[in-house]
Amino acid sequence: MTGTGIYTPAQSISNAELVVAFNEYVRRYNAAHAEAIAAGTVAQLLDSSADFIIKASGIKSRYVMDKTGVLDPDVMCPRIPERPNDQISILAEMAVAAARDALAAAERKTGDVDVVIVSCANPQRAYPAIAIEVQNALGIDGFAFDMNVGCASATFALHAASDMVARGHARAVLICNPEICSGHLDFRDRDSHFIFGDAAASFVVERAETAQGRNSWEIVSTRLKTKFSNNIRNNFGFLNRAAPEGIGSRDKLFMQEGRKVFKEVVPMVSELILAHLAENAVARTALKRLWLHQANLNMNEMIAHRVLWRDAAPGEAPIVLDEYGNTSSAGSIIAFHKYSADLAPGDFGLLCAFGAGY
Ligand code: CO8
């Protein structure tokens, strides 16, 4: 990995702002349904709380592409105008911004890149691939494709890119992880309205012999695992119009059984990491840094403890979710981008992501 870059939207929403908007929506909803609530035919909505959000998740704020729509109790979703087809799409634009940053850090020109992968959980459209639009915007030859493995998309792309480079299929691969999670989040859902944020990350993978950026990290080994689960799900898709009765229903946005995800994913991820370390004869004491998926602070503290057999020291398992929220595929790469430049030659680090799938 020879360069990383990020794109951070200009607008940020604090927990306090989000909760004020949510609670105003609750007040209006309960007032509008007062009779049915009194009759017991409609459930009364409960207030959200900034204290709960910080305690349950560690999230303090999140960046978004449009703050006004999200905080308007009559709208409660981002308002992002459609663009004509001859303009770059907004997701590709975010990817390109992060990619330029990554290419500059890698000291690579677009002509040095043979493959572009856009790997993210929230692709903007069915086709054409966002990656091909990014390739076009950057003037890159070769080929490009999208892939989606939920929040783990960036690490799966890292695995694919390192294989392509190792087998000589590409000189350099540019990976982009743009996420407008706010577009898929139900801001009227108390259980999840605080979880996600928008951002993009990008990184370059190339042969070690050609690495020339100011910082390079050798990929020692990659390891993937998937296990089917319905505990994180979004049923939005092209077949929705074939069942119009379901259009607009709750399952067409992000849904999760958060507590179950927490309980199932922490052991699965910890065991995978420990097995991977053993396979590579890397002692847990050799790990200088853990760039973990940025979904939940408590989850990351538990995983770090199971891997290190002690609490992580400050900065050892860096957290960006406090400022960014869960930015899905971008999260662990943003943590890596911000907290990797100080590592010394010979240091080991571990990059890890997990999410819907699982
Ligand atoms: N304010 C106040 N109280 C609340 C709120 C709120 N906002 N929300 C829930 N509560 C209440 C509940 O009603 C419950 O009350 P009671 O005990 O009376 O029933 C109580 O608080 C506890 O609720 P939970 O058990 O749900 O709380 P948890 O401690 O489990 O915390 C979390 C909830 C934060 C969601 C936590 O479970 C979590 O983070 N789990 C892991 C989630 C995770 O890692 N998910 C991965 C998702 S990433 C991914 O792959 C998605 C990819 C697609 C991206 C799509 C973008 C939109």
pLDDT at 52 over 90: yes
3-state secondary structure of 265: helix
Task: Say what angle helices 50-57 and 297-308 make with each other, to 10 degrees.
Answer: 20
* Ligand 1 centroid from CA 321, angstroms: 15
* Ligand 1 centroid from CA 196, angstroms: 11
Residue type, 204: V
pLDDT in tens, 253-304: 999 999 999 999 999 999 999 999 999 999 999 999 999 999 999 999 999 9
- What are the structural domain ranges in the chain? 232-352
With beta carbons less than 8 A apart as the criterion, state whether 166 and 118 touch. no
Mean pLDDT of the chain: 97
Specify the pLDDT at position 164: 97
* Ligand 1 centroid from CA 294, angstroms: 14
Protein residues whose CB sits closer than 6 Å to any atom of ligand 1: 48-49, 52-53, 56-57, 121-122, 150-151, 181, 184-185, 190-191, 194, 196, 232, 254, 256, 258-259, 261-262, 295-296, 299, 326, 328, 355-356
The closest residue, in CA terms, to atom 12 on ligand 1 is: 191
User: Average pLDDT in the 40-68 region?
Assistant: 98
Q: Find tokens 């792309």 and name the residue.
A: 157
DSSP states along 32-45: HTHHHHHHTSSPPP
Dist. CA 88–CA 93, nearest whole Å: 6
Per-state percent for the chain, helix, strand, coil, to nearest 5? 40, 15, 40
Top CATH class, 232-352: alpha beta
Alpha helices in the chain (DSSP H): 15-32, 34-39, 50-57, 67-71, 90-106, 130-138, 153-166, 258-279, 297-308, 321-324, 330-338
Measured CA distances, 53 to 16, 20, 169 (Å): 10, 13, 45
pLDDT in tens, 166-215: 999 999 999 999 999 999 999 999 999 999 999 999 999 999 998 987 88
Dist. CA 302–CA 138, nearest whole Å: 41
Tokens of 32: 């509008």
Tokens of 322: 């406090």
Dist. CA 10–CA 303, nearest whole Å: 32
Q: Is 151 noted as a catalytic residue in this protein? A: yes
List all residues 6 or more positions away from 152 whose beta carbon is below 8 Å from its beta carbon.
293, 329, 353, 354, 355, 357
* Residues constituting the chain: 358
- Give the global pTM: 0.96
